[in-house]
């Protein structure tokens, strides 16, 4: 039996790249997919329409939505559209996102605001009505929020993007706690995959290692029964490796107790207990 038979999946930013790979795989596994994307192809066609038409031509169930979900009303409208088309929402993948890379001293307010709007506000705009719909249906559900290694460990020239993706990480932690009341499982996905913008800069072998289809299989695991009742996890995924990312404490230094603080000098003397030993874990290894 297909892993997602009878399920309805809403995927934002699904007109190409990772989102498209999710949509095609989920549809192949029996889901009815709602593809949201505001992008157009070179000939002016909506990317969402092209993907949906292709899935339907292959015998799958798909519908396209081309609204800007960073608008709260349109985000709610996406969930209403999914319910009208396929009578429910069981899965939400918040995948939509943009880059406006510049070092901080060169970054204008518009560069900052747009990235926060698309990458973070859209997540609020869509997730709130999706969670409400899942609660009302009483069948639980799964929500996957797309973060980034940039938001967890940083990357030069991406202060706006990293801030938005770190926000996604925090949002997911809270959503996992709140969603548990309604049987809604929540994942954070930190993917590494080639895109239309980066394909020309990579070798053929690297493009194969970082193909979106590798990450799509991880997303399928997350949203299907294969992952059981797991919730609240953050997974890094690429063709090079798949691993959980967690915030873990170092051994640390005990407080002074009795109202006596640890002095700055004492802290410096014992700082090997405060920090993780170097070098830190490399999440992505592009040396091979």
What pLDDT does residue 143 have? 99
What pLDDT is recorded for position 196? 64
Min mean pLDDT across 59-68, 128-137, 150-159, 258-267 is at 258-267
Q: Where are the domains of the chain?
A: 8-244
Calculate what percentage of the chain has a pLDDT beyond 70: 94
Distance CA 79, CA 236 (A): 27
What's the rounded Cα separation, in Å, for the pair 16 and 37? Answer: 9
Query: Does residue 250 or residue 171 have the better pLDDT?
Result: 171
Backbone CA torsion sign across 244, 33, 3, 137 = positive
Average pLDDT over residues 137-155: 95
Checking if the pLDDT of 10 tops 90, the result is yes
Give the residue numbers annotated as catalytic, written as ranges: 161
- Range 79-105 average pLDDT: 97
For residue 172, pLDDT over 60 is answered with yes
Residue with tokens 């880059």: 99
Round the average pLDDT of the chain to a whole number and report it: 93
Phi, psi of 261 (to 5 degrees): -75, 155
How confident is the model at residue 286, as a pLDDT?
A: 43
pLDDT of residue 199: 66
Other beta carbons within 10 angstroms of residue 248's beta carbon come to: 6
pLDDT band at 288 (very low <50, low <70, confident <90, very high): very low
Phi, psi dihedral angles at 179 (to 5 degrees)? -70, -25
pLDDT tops 80 at residue 285: no
Q: What is the mean pLDDT of residues 57-68?
A: 98
Q: For residue 67, which phi and psi values (nearest 5 degrees)? A: -80, 155
Whether the pLDDT of residue 99 is over 60: the answer is: yes
Q: Is the whole model's pTM more than 0.85, yes or no? A: yes
Hey, what are 155's tokens?
């990357």
Task: Give dist(CA 258, CA 120) in Å, integer.
Answer: 43
| The two structure tokens encoding residue 259 | 């109202």
Q: Using 50, 70 and 90 to split pLDDT, how confident is the model at 123?
A: very high
Answer yes or no: is pLDDT of 255 > 50.
yes
CA distance linking residue 70 with residue 89, whole number of Å: 19
Asked whether the CA dihedral 147, 148, 149, 150 is positive or negative, the reply is: negative
- The class that CATH gives domain 8-244 is alpha beta
Q: What is the predicted pLDDT for the residue at 203?
A: 83
User: Of 50 and 281, which is predicted with more confidence?
Assistant: 50
- Tokens encoding 72: 């709260």
Closest C-alpha to 174, from 214, 134, 131: 131
Residue 183: CB atoms within 10 Å: 15
pLDDT of amino acid 20: 97
SS3 of 18-54: HHHHHHHHHHHCCCEEEEECCCECCCCCEHHHHHHHH
- Spatial distance between the Cα atoms of 68 and 122, rounded to a whole number of angstroms: 8
Give residue 201's pLDDT: 65
**According to the model, what pLDDT value does residue 256 have?**
74
Quote the longest CA-to-CA distance of the chain. 72
Please tell me whether residue 120 adopts helix, strand or coil conformation.
helix
For 40-56, how does the pLDDT look when each residue is reduced to its tens digit (9 = 90+)?
Answer: 999 999 999 999 999 99
Q: Is the pLDDT of residue 102 over 50?
A: yes
Residue 66 has pLDDT above 80, yes or no: yes
Residues of the chain with pLDDT > 90: what percent?
Answer: 82
Residue found under tokens 């996604």: 168
* Top-confidence residue, 277 or 266: 266
């Amino acid at each position: 039996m297909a892993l997602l038979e009878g399920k309805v999946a809403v995927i934002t930013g699904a007109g190409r790249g990772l989102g498209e790979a999710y949509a095609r795989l989920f549809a192949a596994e029996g889901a009815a997919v709602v593809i949201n994307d505001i992008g157009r192809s070179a000939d002016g066609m909506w990317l969402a329409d092209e993907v949906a038409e292709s899935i339907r031509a292959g015998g799958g169930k798909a519908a396209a939505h081309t609204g800007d979900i960073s608008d709260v009303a349109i985000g709610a409208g996406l969930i209403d559209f999914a319910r009208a088309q396929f009578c429910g929402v069981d899965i939400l993948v918040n995948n939509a996102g943009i880059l406006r890379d510049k070092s901080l001293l060169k970054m204008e307010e518009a560069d900052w605001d747009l990235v926060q709007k698309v990458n973070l506000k859209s997540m609020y705009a869509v997730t709130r009505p999706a969670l409400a719909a899942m609660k009302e249906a009483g069948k639980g559900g799964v929500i996957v929020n797309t973060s980034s290694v940039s938001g967890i460990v940083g990357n030069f020239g991406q202060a706006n993007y990293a801030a938005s993706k770190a926000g996604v990480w925090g949002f997911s932690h809270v959503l996992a706690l709140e969603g548990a009341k309604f049987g809604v499982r929540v994942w954070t996905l930190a993917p590494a995959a080639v895109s239309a913008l980066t394909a020309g800069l990579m070798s053929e072998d690297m493009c194969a290692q970082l193909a979106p289809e590798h990450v799509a299989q991880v997303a399928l695991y997350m949203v299907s029964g294969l992952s059981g009742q797991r919730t609240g996890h953050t997974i890094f995924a690429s063709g090079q490796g798949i691993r959980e990312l967690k915030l873990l404490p170092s051994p640390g230094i005990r407080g002074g107790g009795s109202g006596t603080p640890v002095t700055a000098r004492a802290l410096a003397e014992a700082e090997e207990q405060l920090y993780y030993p170097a070098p830190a874990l490399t999440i992505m290894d592009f040396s091979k």
